């Protein structure tokens, strides 16, 4: 039989532990030859406030496993701690297409500088924390995720003043 990719549902936040537990069980039951890669789809991002690098998962609570699906491998995965089951829920879960797996791995393997986390929306009101307009409020008019910039419109003397700022120079209003 050929190896195919399957999506496995895990406890949210326990993807790495589930992957380690699955690898241990594969060795313990001597089934390593029926498994290929195990992926936790994620990327490294920079938190704009703390400027720390963080790992952000594309699909929280899911792991991709390349494997030959038979009774032994099915029950090995199903009975692994931190894993709740296969996506699809049936005894014969549908495999993930190779095209989709290639898209995910390509996104994971980008050799870029860590991207800032974008949690802003168009039309959202924000407070400026740095620069000449610090402590003023404005509305987000444009988000340029690639450059890590926002265009914020501030009302000064009854006129709109567009200003380009970095993500870390503004904060959300609660």
> Hey, where are the domains in the chain?
4-116, 125-172
Please say if the pLDDT value at position 142 is more than 70. Answer: yes
Contact of 21 with 76, CB cutoff 8 Å: no
Sign of CA dihedral 28, 29, 31, 36: negative
pLDDT the model gives residue 116: 57
Taking residues 51-70, what's their average pLDDT? 85
Please say if the pLDDT value at position 87 is more than 80. Answer: yes
Contact of 153 with 143, CB cutoff 8 Å: no
Query: Domain 125-172 belongs to what architecture?
Result: Roll (2.30)
pLDDT the model gives residue 4: 93
pLDDT the model gives residue 19: 93
**Tokens found for residue 173:** 């209003």
Average predicted confidence (pLDDT) for the chain = 85
pTM score of the predicted model = 0.63
Please say if the pLDDT value at position 60 is more than 90. Answer: no
Q: What is the DSSP string of the chain?
A: ---EEEEEEE-TT-HHHHHHHHHHHHHHTT-GGGEEEEE--EEEEE-TTT--EEEEESSTTEEEEEE--SHHHHHHHHTSTTEEEETT-SSSPPPBPHHHHHHHHHHHT---PPEEP----TT-EEEE-SSTTTT-EEEEEEEETTTTEEEEEEEETTEEEEEEEEGGGEEE--
pLDDT the model gives residue 54: 74
Task: Report the percent of the chain where pLDDT is more than 90.
Answer: 40
Taking residues 44-70, what's their average pLDDT? 81
Taking residues 4-24, what's their average pLDDT? 91
Task: Report the percent of the chain where pLDDT is more than 70.
Answer: 91
Q: Which residue has the tokens 């790992």?
A: 55
In CATH, 4-116 is 3.30.70.1230: no
For 38-48, the pLDDT digits (tens) are 998 887 777 66
- pLDDT bin (cut points 50, 70, 90) of residue 2 is confident
Please say if the pLDDT value at position 68 is more than 90. Answer: yes
């Amino acid at each position: 039989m050929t190896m195919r990719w399957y999506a496995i549902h895990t406890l949210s936040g326990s993807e790495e532990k589930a992957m380690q537990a699955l690898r241990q069980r594969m060795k313990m039951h001597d089934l390593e030859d029926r498994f290929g890669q195990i992926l936790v789809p994620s990327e490294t991002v920079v938190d704009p406030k703390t400027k720390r690098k963080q790992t952000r998962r594309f699909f929280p609570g899911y792991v991709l496993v390349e494997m030959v699906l038979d009774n032994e491998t099915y029950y090995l995965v199903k009975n692994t701690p931190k894993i709740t089951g296969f996506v699809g829920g049936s005894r014969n879960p549908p495999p993930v297409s190779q095209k989709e797996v290639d898209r995910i791995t390509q996104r994971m393997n980008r050799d870029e500088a860590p991207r800032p986390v974008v949690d802003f929306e168009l039309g959202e009101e924000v407070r400026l924390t740095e620069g000449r307009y610090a402590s003023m409020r404005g509305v987000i008019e444009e988000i340029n995720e690639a450059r890590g910039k926002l265009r914020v419109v501030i009302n000064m003397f009854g006129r709109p003043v567009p200003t380009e700022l970095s993500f870390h120079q503004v904060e959300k209003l609660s």
